[in-house]
Each structure stands twice: as C-alpha cells, then as structure tokens.
Amino acid sequence: MKMWSGRFRQPLDPQFERWQRSFDFDRRLLGYELAASGAHARALKNIGILSADELISILEGLQKIGEMAASAEGFVEDDEAEDVHHFVEKQLAALIGEVGYKLHSGRSRNEQIATDLRLYVRAAIDELRKELSDVCEAFAERAEKAGNAAMPAFTHLQHAEPVLVGHWLLAYVEMFLRDADRLVDCRKRLNVCPLGSGAVAGATLPLDRVFMAEELEFSSLTANSIDATSDRDFILEFVNVLSLLGVHLSRWAEEMIIFSSQEFGFVKLPEAYSTGSSAMPQKKNPDLLELVRGKTGRVIGGAAGLTVTLKGLPLAYNKDLQETQEPLFDAADSMLGMLPLVAGWMKAVEFDTARMNEAAQSGFTNAWAAATYLVKRGVPSRLAHEQIGKAVKLCVERNCEIQNLTLNDLCRLHPAFEESFYECLKPAAVLAIHDVVGGTAPERVRQGIAAAKRKIDSLREEVKIHAHA
C-alpha cells in the first residue's frame, strides 16, 4: 500500500515513480528508522493510542525487520518501497497485519527523515573521530621515531630553515586535532531531537517529546517544528568539516607526492600502497596519495552542491531535501574509507633521513641563525640581515655555503664576526636556537610530541564515552 494514494485519481507515471524514490540510497538509514520508530511507538502507547499488546507486536515487528535486514540476503531489495519509511511500514504490515499501520499515527516522514539523518551523522562523527585518532597516533609515532633527524622546512617551496622531521609531522597532527574538535562541535549542535515536529506545525497528538529524545539519546529537543523539519544545516556543517579535513589530507598527500619524487627523494613510497605502470616497468606511483587528493575534490564538491541545494528553499520541507542525502553519504564514505589507509601509509612509509638531513644543511638554511649571531652581539637586526644577505651573495658567486667563507671574508662585511660564528652555523646549533614553545628545538619537539599524545588520548577517551552513551 502506498503511503499517500487516497486523493489521487490517476496512477503515477511509472518512470517518474521510479525516479522520485530514495530507497536505493536511504535504505542505509534503516537502523535509525527502526530506532526512531520504536521511540515513537512507545510514546504512542504512553498516550493510549496503542494498547500494550499493540506496542509489543509493533516493537517485535521492528526488531524482526532489523534482524531480517542483517541476515536475509535481498531483504532490503524492494521494488515498491518509495523510501526507507515506506519500506518499514510495508514490512511491518506484512509481518504483524493492520496494526502495523497504527505506527504512523501523529507523525510525518518529514520529522522522521530529519531524525534519521541526525542519528546517521552523529554515528558517522563518532566513527570518524575514532579513525582520526588513529591517524594522529600514526603521525605522532613517526614523529617520535624520527628522533633528531632534520629536514629543510620550506616557505614558498624554497629552503627556509632546518626543522626536526618530528616537528614537521606534528604540524599535521595539529590540523587533524582541530578537525576532530570541529566534529565534536558539530555533534553538539546536531544532537537535538526533531521527533514530535510532525509535518511542519508539530505533532497532531500530545506526544511526550522529552521521552522520545531520551529514548534516542539526544541531548535536547528542536525548538521549532518549522525549522526542525526543514533544517539540514547539520549536514552542510558536517560535510564542510569533512571538506576541511579533506583539505588537510590533500595538502599532506600533495606534499608526500612532491617529497617522493626523484628530485626530492625524502620519502620512499611503501610498496603495499603504491601501484606500477602497465607500460613503464620502472614505475612506482603514489596512487594512495593521489586518490586522497582526488577524493577530497569530491567531498568539497559535495559541500558546494549541498549549499546550492539549500539556498533557494522556502520553508519548510521540500522534496529537494532528499537530494542532501547522497552527497552526505558520499562524503562520509570517502573519509571513512581513506582515513585508515592514511594511517596505514604513515606506518609503512620510509623516510630517507640521510637525504633529508643533507638537504637541511644546504641552500643557506642557517642564514637566519647567522644573522641572529650578529643580533646577539648588538648589531641591529636590519643591518645584520643585510650583511648576511651579502655573505649569501658571495657564497652564490663562489658556489659554497656560509660556513665555507673565511673569517677574513666575513670581517670585511662586519667586524663583529669571530671564530665562534662557525659554531652557531652547525645544524644542531641552528635547531637549538628555536627554543620557544611550538618551536623546533629538540627539547621543544619532545614536549610537543608528549602534548600531542595527551590530546590524542583525550580524543580517544571522548570517543569511548560517546560510544557508550
């Protein structure tokens, strides 16, 4: 039986009928639909619309549907179901007879889909935070393992200053921790229950909304039925959070691709996550990284598409809202698919630390440290900068590094240079002067690793708390 055929004189155009369905993709909401329906059924019993026996048979029917979906192959293949709500109603009536049709009393699919989607996003957030904590851990572990290995840090993709490899990896941990934080924030805002909002004006029966919210572990209620049935902000917000996470992953992927090129040679691509070429026998390609970069484009596209879908809609429910589901699922699937692979890649990758160390010392990465030497001897910073710039110019002419200039050469530039200057140019000394919180001095990096690990631990704790909530 259709959910709405009473007032129609003509059957639907079959092509249109198929085309407007959402069951192909919203069937994945079945578990949430069953949970929300259970809460609604209990609320109906509490106000006397269902008898105790009717409630029991409805709850048993809902449970059976869940079990069959989990075990019976092909059960969720249904050529008639318009959407997941229709599917449940149909199956329930098939299982328990006409009493199944009582379940829809006082409610609308508009509040149901709003509820199911909130439950879906809430669960996706919890899973994503768990995956993100694994990614952070993989990065933090590599940071720790890297010890005192150094590499050049780049600005404008030109050698800038040496940093510890661990310091570089911790930069990514910071980005991912912010992403996890944004997910928590998004979760807080979406965790409100729309049940009882009806089609647009509120339920037509005096349902206990607090009771239903508690049944589904929502922290509170939506405050306005018009907003509740038309709001998809939480989807847009979530997919935007994922876009930003994608931006971080994509920057990482891009950097790794550059660093794995023959020209850089900092990163040796793990074979388990690379592919070859069907034509060129020598190739080992960074496919995982390229797909991370590529799939991020899809997620960003999803966020842009959702924005456009929502921007022209008058209040309240419009069928356009059905179109928010696929980009949502696609974004969540893309991220959930790639995060474990990113963690795996990070565990498997090898860094050529000899090459990185060597690169860290070339291209005048100690020039600012050299200028700092003069500053510490009272030379005004602008002048010191100028003199070291001249020293670099001399080096470029002679094709050498600053430490290869003689004291004579240097004293011609400024009298403050002494033999001790050469000490401050050594790699370890250059690293050591960046001795501020968040800087690359080895002790600071060790503190940074410890702090990151504490943050990762508390992320894991929160994930556990929500999982048991």
And the tokens for 283?
């190739």
Q: Which one of residues 37, 57, 91, 110 is an interface residue with ligand ARG (CB under 6 A)?
A: 110
37 binds ligand ARG (CB under 6 A): no
Binding to ligand ARG, residues 5-24 (CB under 6 A): 22
113 binds ligand ARG, rule: CB under 6 A: yes
Q: Kindly provide the residue ranges of all beta strands, DSSP E only, lying in 67-198, ordered along the sequence.
A: 150-155, 158-164, 192-193
Beta strands 267-268 and 192-193 are unpaired
| Min dist. Cβ of residue 83 to ligand ARG (A) | 4
Q: Which helix (H) or strand (E) holds 350?
A: strand 350-351
- Which residue type occupies 456? I
377 closest CA partner among 410, 348, 351, 329: 410
Residues 315-374 that bind ligand ARG (CB under 6 A): 317, 319, 321-322
Least CB distance to ligand ARG at residue 109 (A) = 4
CB-wise, 230 or 243, nearer to ligand ARG? 230
Give the contact letters, 435-454, x = binds to ligand ARG (CB under 6 A), - = no: --------------------
CA distance 129 to 137: 12
Q: DSSP for 1-38?
A: --SSGGG-SSPPPHHHHHHT--HHHHGGGHHHHHHHHH
311 vs 319, beta carbon nearer ligand ARG: 319
User: Between residue 55 and residue 84, which ones bind ligand ARG under the rule CB under 6 A?
Assistant: 83
> Cα separation of 402 and 451, whole Å?
36
The least CB distance from residue 17 to ligand ARG, in Å, is 13
Amino acid at 344: G
Taking the complex as a whole, how short is the minimal distance between the CB of residue 82 and ligand ARG, in angstroms? 7
Q: Which is nearer to ligand ARG, 174 or 227 (CB)?
A: 227
Shortest Å distance, C-beta 316 to ligand ARG: 10
109 binds ligand ARG (CB under 6 A): yes
Is 20 or 404 the residue whose CB approaches ligand ARG more closely?
A: 20
Give the count of residues interacting with ligand ARG (CB under 6 A): 10
Indicate the burial class of 314 (C-beta count within 10 angstroms; 0-12, 13-18, 19 or more). Answer: exposed
Closest contact distance (angstroms) between CB of 78 and ligand ARG is: 14
In terms of Cβ atoms closer than 10 Å to its own Cβ (0-12, 13-18, 19+), residue 229 is buried
Sorted by sequence, the CB contacts under 8 Å of residue 294 that are 6+ apart come out as none
Site string for ligand ARG, 140-159 (x = CB under 6 A): --------------------
For ligand ARG, the closer of residues 22 and 260 by Cβ is: 22
Nearer to ligand ARG, 24 or 217 (CB): 24
Contact between 229 and ligand ARG (CB under 6 A)? no
Q: Which residues of 344-360 are buried (b: 16+ CB within 10 A; e: fewer)?
A: bbbebbebbbeebbebb
Kindly list the residues in this chain that would bind ligand ARG in the complex (CB under 6 A).
22, 26, 83, 109-110, 113, 317, 319, 321-322
